[in-house]
Structure 1
Amino acid sequence: MNQSLTPPCWHCGQPAPSGAFTARTPEGSRDACCPGCAAAIETIYGMGLDDYYRIRQDEAPAPDARRAELDLALFEIPDLLAPHCASLPDGERLQLQLSGLTCAACSWLIEKALSTQPGVSRASVNLAGMTLTVDYQGAPQARETARRIQQLGYGVSLPGDPAATAANRREHKRLLGRLILAGLGAMQAMMYSMALYIGVFDGSDAVYEWVFRLASFFVATPVVFYAGWPFFQGAWRGLRNRNLTMDTPIALALFLAWGGSLVAMFTGGSHVYFDSAAMFVFFLLISRWLEHRQRQAINAGYARLGDTLPRAVRRLSGDQAQWVSLRQVAAGDRLLLIQGDVVPVDGRIIDGQGTFDEAALTGESVPISRGLHSCLVAGARLQEGSITLQAECAADHSQIARIAEQVELASRERLDVIRDWHRIAPLFTAAVLLLAAFTLLWHWPAGPGEAFDHTLAVLVITCPCALALAVPLTLSATLGTALREGVLVASPRQLLRLPHIGGVLFDKTGTLTLGRFSLVDTQVAGEGQKADLLAIVSALEWNNPHPLAQAFRDIARNPQMTDILPDGNGITGNLQGQQWRISGAPQQARPGTTCLQLSRDGAVQLYLWLQDSIREESAAVTRALRQQGLAVRMATGDNDAAAGPVARELSLEEWRAGMKPADKTRWLKELQTTTTQMMVGDGINDAEAMLAADVSVATANATSLAQRAAGLYLLKDNLQAIPALPALARRCQRTIRQNLTWALLYNLLAVPFAVAGWIPPWAAAIGMSASSLLVTLNATRVTRWKSSSC
């Protein structure tokens, strides 16, 4: 496959489909991307200013063809590709970033084109995240993949490429500019056309009627061919690749409405419909801009997710530690970890001991001590101590990597109702053309002029604008409303499942609770005032990274404490010649609490009880869910003593403690045998269950993997939005049904009358515009929806 790259427009440099638009110049024809650029090229040459192009090209660092080759060369550099590659049993997987996609048909086209590339076993496009995942049999042929995508007319880059991010911002700004132009142009064209529709001018005012038609033409033409150019470009791209996208019927309707009006204007027809064409573009761009804005919000949400594992680690060679990339770690390597480090791979401790925060992995809120021969999983954080870890596998084979793989697989979804519309779009287009041809032949005996008017009425009244807007505009409005309520919807399909859920399974630590410890009680066991003793505790814990130490951050510390050092499972310090030590006191623990003790020269002076506080809104949220008839349950990795008080305070119907990730998933699947389930969590340990859930919600404080596993995640650090989500989903479903019913009913009722010749073109234009406007206004009603829960 040796196709050349799409040539650039001679005027603006944007991709110009070869032969679609050309400008005649003394130096020969020049490629243009649209009629506006073609007119600009001819005007510049006609005024004798052709040096403009020579000067501009001399100043350019390189022609566009060379720039394209340079872009492709980036996909041949192993060091650039490595962060985005993952090993497979029979090859490698590469993830790329895409741009320029508008619908599910674009995704299908890219997947189909890449499936024929030698060495590619599978290609999958995630439209929401605008990402492409390609599995290769052997080494990745990234350059050939990128070249094929460019030939299809789409943009491709490596994830995180600053140039691609800037290009995406420019695309969004350009789309907004097109939308504003279309809105202003549609209103202005309607002002001119309204006088023509109501018959203001009589025979003596023919010259003014001509002026109004000409004014409408000049206003609507830039709207159709500049603001509406994305639809023409998408249709041309699909036809060039022998594929009918959703843009095909839209572009056809736009061109015929504009072209038919132009013919009517010069042949003395009764009406022109430039205003209708301009309104088509405006309504369609509203939907596309809202979808593009939502896609940016989703991408921004993913961009905020930091990597769970470190990029570099200390690998021991003999007694010397050397920094290496995490990708270089292999099974058997010895890694040195010190306080604050994140465990990079699954492994076993072969030297040293430490205290680990495994809350993200197991849900256990209290850090756990691990010693010689203890097994560790990637993602745990070393809070105290230093260890030597022997890796049991490479980073891309660890438990956390396997969960990440499941997340990636789950993210490759399509929204069925939109996908089904794209499937019927070619049939709809063919039906419209057949009806138009039948109408033309039927009315031809009455005269060509009358036959053309009736045919144009059929083409205008059956424009798929209302059908095209019905679903995506409603979804975009719903997703925007969810954002306003503090929920980012990454999976619209999960959102639409919400009305059918029968139960909600909550994680405990960090979800129903804050995941932060607070001081709930103290008891003086020796001499001294409690305030003075608390000041000593605060001084000892001031620089301690341990989660329990956070409870003392707001307590004034004694500034005279010196020589503060870790001491086994505690911390010691000197104050006026006396040694003070804070350590655990498990024998004094109460249900739902952790107990610490402060000692002076070995004698206990103060006991402190700490507790992970329940979120203020948790009781109201769980109560609101129960009032909706949902069964509310809790699954946690904490022990019974810590989980029991939380479950009792929230009046939970059922709860289970000491659960590992696989246990949560198993329980969730058991519940799914009777009803649809929603999972709410925040940790890596919740990701597996969230992937298995019908609907999954991640909290604002969730780990990266939990957020990516979720179809919805909360932007505000509370749970108040959760009870309102089913009602919002029901509103979305009801609006979609209303819009689809109206759009289909309108076509079924209006088309027979248009074919029979009972509807003039001007009435067809008004009917079509009213239909699209009704769908648009009904969809935007979702934006006025208000949450009434909690």
Structure 2
Amino acid sequence: MSINIPEGGCFHCGLPNLEGNKYPVTILGVSHSMCCPGCQAVASSIVDNGLESYYEFRTEPAARGDAALDNTLAKLAVYDEPELQEEFVFDIGTDKEIQLTVEGITCAACGWLIEKQLAKTKGIKQVSVNVGARRAMVIWDNNVLKLSQVLRQLKTIGYESLPFQADSHEASYQREQKSFLKKVGLSGLMTMQVMMLAMGQYFDLFGNIDAETTKYFNWISLVLTTPVVLYAGSVFYLSAMKAIMARTVNMDIPVTIAILATYIAGFFTVNKPNAEVYFESICMFIFFLLISRFLEHRSRHKATQISSNMLKHIPVTANLWTGKEARSVLAKQLKVDDLVLVKAGEIIPVDGFIVEGKALLDESMLTGEFEPVTKQVNDPVFGGTINQNGAIKLKVSKTLKHAMVNQILRLQETALSSKPKVALIADKLSRYFVVAVLTISALTYAFWAYQGNEHAFWITISVLVATCPCALGLATPSALTCAMARLNKQGILLKRADALEQLTEVTDIVFDKTGTLTHGEFTIDKSWFADNESASIDKYRSIAKSIELQSEHPIAKAFGSLETQTDLFAVDDLQVVIGKGLNCKIGKNQYHIGSPNYILGKIPAEALSEQQRNELQGANVLLSENDTLVSAFWLRDKLKEDVVDVIKALAPYEQTILSGDTLQNVTHVANSLNIKNTVAEQAPEQKLMYIKQLQANGRSVLMLGDGINDAPVLAVSDVSVAVGNASDLAKNAADVILLNQDLASLLHVINMAKRTKRKIKQNIAWALSYNILVLPFAIGGFLTPWMAALGMSISSIIVVYNSTRLMRNS
């Protein structure tokens, strides 16, 4: 060993060991005693990662580990309590999912490290890290692994983590913000002082400076530089150490080598006559690099804040209606079917349905539309929206944990953690680039040393600094985060980030008709009955209404306004045949109601005369009783106000209407919009086959839909969009959700996808071009370390600034 540990001292940190052999670790085949669980954990991690040689070549004892590790890990066990997990853990079948706030994430390599290390842990099914938001989404098998063990695993690789909560996450950001400001402030202040002394020597501003005075200035510079290196630059060393422990490389490795090598070289030569020291370059390098990281930190937070701050719209308390009076309770304690009183000016605490009253609601925090929406009895309301006037009572439909705001945030986090191909390529490229930088630096030093150049070392440092691929690492995550934040502000939710990339490759746009191009608010235009007696007509109207009220389909809502003299019937054995209709029993009779193709397929051909078939042309909904046709209904819908302009703007794409409605209705809509391709009267499986056929022909398909019957085709399309009034099943299958019903939002998505792709390409091109252009100058010895530091930092700042332009209107 290169150092001697005092007898009775901890083998890791050298401090007195009062615990004897309580914390042993076998290093290089020999058992050594540690003083605490922290030193034992760090030493074990070093051994487990194959870095035992550290103990052979170290010249000083290591810093002491977390002596309170046992207590820290014991505290984590509280997160295994089901009552506590109820607030932030979601059940996914037999598995569990959680969003974690992770402190200490500095770059994309940190996210890669966390994903790689956690993926090795038995019981963890999926890990996705959102570097921009400093969060991790973890899915695990609770029968194999406990939540506290997940948190413990993160802690052992150097990352503090806690379940994501808006307040604690914001506090975590503020802590990191203060830390950045302290380090930037310290390095900036010291840089000015050291630069002043260096300029005095460079230009001999103080007159003829003798050797003793130069040495004195160098010593002052060393003293001023030391806190910058040891404190302000620590963020880079920690990141580099984490990468090395994971047996990979990241951009902070060449940064760390450049800083420490320059500092150590200056430290050992500071006393020599005509000493060549670059303390001002070290300070400037750290200062500029910290500024670029700080700006990146702020821009990422600003982007993710748009989504995260949605939770701040949810009030802490709610007025629970007990039947006689309102009682103030915590919003998160509300249960399904509780009644809540919301007064004028108050915020809706949870999702629910209005059971009493009428009000104007501001839903802009969800939809991006600032026009108030009128809500009345039976209308849905969402937590976080504002009641502008009128008192209402609502029945809770979802607890706060499952409210739309929380669902949006979960989907947003999942989207931000999914990476498109270009992002994966950039991440991989940056790792290769770091290896190339280290290799080129080594070759540069070897060449100039062989040439006998006394500046070989400083030329090598300039190469390391100038070609640091920080800008390359920022190229994609900064652009994606800003793009998704902008879309979120416009009431557009992306469930996966790579949808932005695929949108730029779309060739065909396929529209469902009902509820997508049209309002989906049908009215019954006319009706037909096999028996024209008034009693029979009223009976079958009542039967049709009774059955259709059981469905969520937009067409079914038209029957809610049917006037009948007969009371509604009790419906039994209801079956939904997706995309076709409904089957049920009323009394002893079997009824089928749905599309003409579906109903006529159950009726013998000879049961209908040619005259009846002619009379039924264009009918949307048929009703049969015991396989006998008894009624038919013609429904009409109207186009959405903005759809004509949207279709014109999408003219470069091949457009198709794919609908289950009759050919007559589909053709009418297609002619109104000048859409040439129409495919009508399609069942869900036929829609699916149509999309697959397009894809088999090499087409890339964007599908827009809203109904339950659209879910299969939304799932199989290259990119799928669910409009604002879509069913939950359609939203679950879609890649993009338009939270408002404005179809023009689709144009915003496509435009943003194109802009994002351009920005990412610009960022990568700039980062690579800068590094390639500056490399010959660095290798040739034309750049001093401080010049290289300035150029590298400006390059990173340009990339971040370019990405933030996505958050503007154009």
TM-score normalised to the size of structure 1? 0.59
Structure 1 residue aligned with 2:205: 202
What are the residue-to-residue correspondences of 1:517-532 with 2, within 5 Å? 517=522
What are the residue-to-residue correspondences of 1:147-546 with 2, within 5 Å? 147-154=152-159, 166-178=167-179, 202-204=205-207, 217=225, 220=228, 224-225=232-233, 229=235, 231-245=236-250, 247-249=252-254, 251-252=256-257, 269=277, 272-273=280-281, 274-291=283-300, 294=303, 413-444=418-449, 450-517=455-522
Q: Does 1:95 align with 2:97?
A: yes
How far is the alpha carbon of 1:418 from its aligned partner?
2.9
Structure 1 residue aligned with 2:641: 616
How many angstroms apart in 1 are the aligned matches of 2:240 and 2:765? 26
Q: Does 1:140 align with 2:144?
A: yes
Give the conservation status (yes or no) of the 8 Å contact 2:483–2:806.
yes
Residues 1:780 and 1:430: Cα distance change in structure 2 (over 3 Å):
same
Structure 1 residue aligned with 2:795: 771
Give the conservation status (yes or no) of the 8 Å contact 2:724–2:737.
yes
How many angstroms apart in 1 are the aligned matches of 2:751 and 2:82? 46
Residues 1:775 and 1:82: Cα distance change in structure 2 (over 3 Å):
closer
Structure 1 residue aligned with 2:388: none
Residues 1:688 and 1:594: Cα distance change in structure 2 (over 3 Å):
closer
Residues 1:519 and 1:86: Cα distance change in structure 2 (over 3 Å):
closer
Residues 1:722 and 1:29: Cα distance change in structure 2 (over 3 Å):
closer
How far is the alpha carbon of 1:111 from its aligned partner?
5.6
Structure 1 residue aligned with 2:691: 668
How many angstroms apart in 2 are the aligned matches of 1:707 and 1:108? 30
**SS across alignment from 1:674:** coil
How many angstroms apart in 2 are the aligned matches of 1:172 and 1:142? 27
How many angstroms apart in 2 are the aligned matches of 1:410 and 1:661? 27
Count of residue correspondences: 583
Structure 1 residue aligned with 2:75: 67
Give the conservation status (yes or no) of the 8 Å contact 1:511–1:680.
yes
How many angstroms apart in 1 are the aligned matches of 2:726 and 2:567? 32
How many angstroms apart in 1 are the aligned matches of 2:35 and 2:678? 60
How many angstroms apart in 1 are the aligned matches of 2:35 and 2:799? 37
Structure 1 residue aligned with 2:758: 734
* Range 609-618 or range 717-726, more displaced: 609-618
Structure 2 residue aligned with 1:86: 93
Residues 1:190 and 1:688: Cα distance change in structure 2 (over 3 Å):
farther
How far is the alpha carbon of 1:625 from its aligned partner?
0.2
Structure 2 residue aligned with 1:690: 714
Structure 1 residue aligned with 2:776: 752
AA partner of residue 136 (structure 2): M
How many angstroms apart in 1 are the aligned matches of 2:289 and 2:218? 23
How far is the alpha carbon of 1:707 from its aligned partner?
3.7
1:630 paired residue among 646, 649, 653: 653
How many angstroms apart in 1 are the aligned matches of 2:666 and 2:179? 56
How far is the alpha carbon of 1:478 from its aligned partner?
3.1
Structure 2 residue aligned with 1:525: none
How far is the alpha carbon of 1:502 from its aligned partner?
0.9
How far is the alpha carbon of 1:632 from its aligned partner?
1.6
Give the conservation status (yes or no) of the 8 Å contact 1:3–1:151.
no
Give the conservation status (yes or no) of the 8 Å contact 2:219–2:270.
no
How far is the alpha carbon of 1:761 from its aligned partner?
1.8
C-alpha distance after superposition, 1:620-644 (max 9, x if no partner): 1111101xx1012222344446544
How many angstroms apart in 1 are the aligned matches of 2:192 and 2:566? 80
Structure 2 residue aligned with 1:127: 129
How far is the alpha carbon of 1:32 from its aligned partner?
7.2
How far is the alpha carbon of 1:202 from its aligned partner?
1.5
Give the conservation status (yes or no) of the 8 Å contact 2:166–2:309.
no
AA partner of residue 290 (structure 2): V
C-alpha distance after superposition, 1:465-520 (max 9, x if no partner): 22222232233333344345443334332212222211111223332233445799
Identity within the alignment, %: 27
Alignment RMSD, CA only? 5.8
How many angstroms apart in 1 are the aligned matches of 2:767 and 2:692? 39
C-alpha distance after superposition, 1:214-264 (max 9, x if no partner): 897489569834xx63x5444333323333345545555565577677778
Structure 2 residue aligned with 1:713: 737
How many angstroms apart in 1 are the aligned matches of 2:269 and 2:686? 71
C-alpha distance after superposition, 1:548-578 (max 9, x if no partner): 998999x9xxxxx9x9974679xxxxxxxxx
How many angstroms apart in 1 are the aligned matches of 2:258 and 2:96? 39
**SS across alignment from 1:420:** helix
C-alpha distance after superposition, 1:350-389 (max 9, x if no partner): xxxxxxxxxxxxxxxxxxxxxxxxxxxxxxxxxxxxxxxx
How far is the alpha carbon of 1:67 from its aligned partner?
0.3
How many angstroms apart in 1 are the aligned matches of 2:35 and 2:517? 54
Residues 1:774 and 1:194: Cα distance change in structure 2 (over 3 Å):
farther
AA partner of residue 654 (structure 1): N
How many angstroms apart in 1 are the aligned matches of 2:290 and 2:153? 30
Structure 2 stretches lacking a partner, 5+ long: 1-23, 27-33, 52-60, 314-335, 337-351, 354-410, 528-544, 572-593, 597-611, 623-632
How far is the alpha carbon of 1:278 from its aligned partner?
2.0
Give the conservation status (yes or no) of the 8 Å contact 2:254–2:465.
no
AA partner of residue 624 (structure 1): A
Give the conservation status (yes or no) of the 8 Å contact 1:104–1:419.
no
2:669 paired residue among 623, 642, 646: 646
How many angstroms apart in 2 are the aligned matches of 1:551 and 1:180? 61
How many angstroms apart in 2 are the aligned matches of 1:485 and 1:223? 42
Structure 1 stretches lacking a partner, 5+ long: 11-15, 21-27, 34-52, 88-92, 305-324, 326-339, 342-405, 523-539, 556-560, 570-583, 596-607
Structure 2 residue aligned with 1:328: none
How many angstroms apart in 2 are the aligned matches of 1:721 and 1:6? 62
**SS across alignment from 1:272:** helix
Residues 1:222 and 1:242: Cα distance change in structure 2 (over 3 Å):
closer
Structure 2 residue aligned with 1:383: none
Give the conservation status (yes or no) of the 8 Å contact 1:591–1:645.
no
How far is the alpha carbon of 1:677 from its aligned partner?
1.3
**SS across alignment from 2:737:** strand
How many angstroms apart in 2 are the aligned matches of 1:463 and 1:766? 12
How far is the alpha carbon of 1:451 from its aligned partner?
3.5
Give the conservation status (yes or no) of the 8 Å contact 1:497–1:695.
yes
Residues 1:262 and 1:611: Cα distance change in structure 2 (over 3 Å):
farther
Residues 1:715 and 1:407: Cα distance change in structure 2 (over 3 Å):
closer
How far is the alpha carbon of 1:719 from its aligned partner?
1.8
AA partner of residue 652 (structure 1): I
Structure 2 residue aligned with 1:535: none
AA partner of residue 72 (structure 2): D
How many angstroms apart in 1 are the aligned matches of 2:35 and 2:293? 26
Structure 2 residue aligned with 1:677: 701
Residues 1:256 and 1:660: Cα distance change in structure 2 (over 3 Å):
farther
Structure 1 residue aligned with 2:607: none
**SS across alignment from 1:435:** helix
How many angstroms apart in 2 are the aligned matches of 1:264 and 1:564? 102
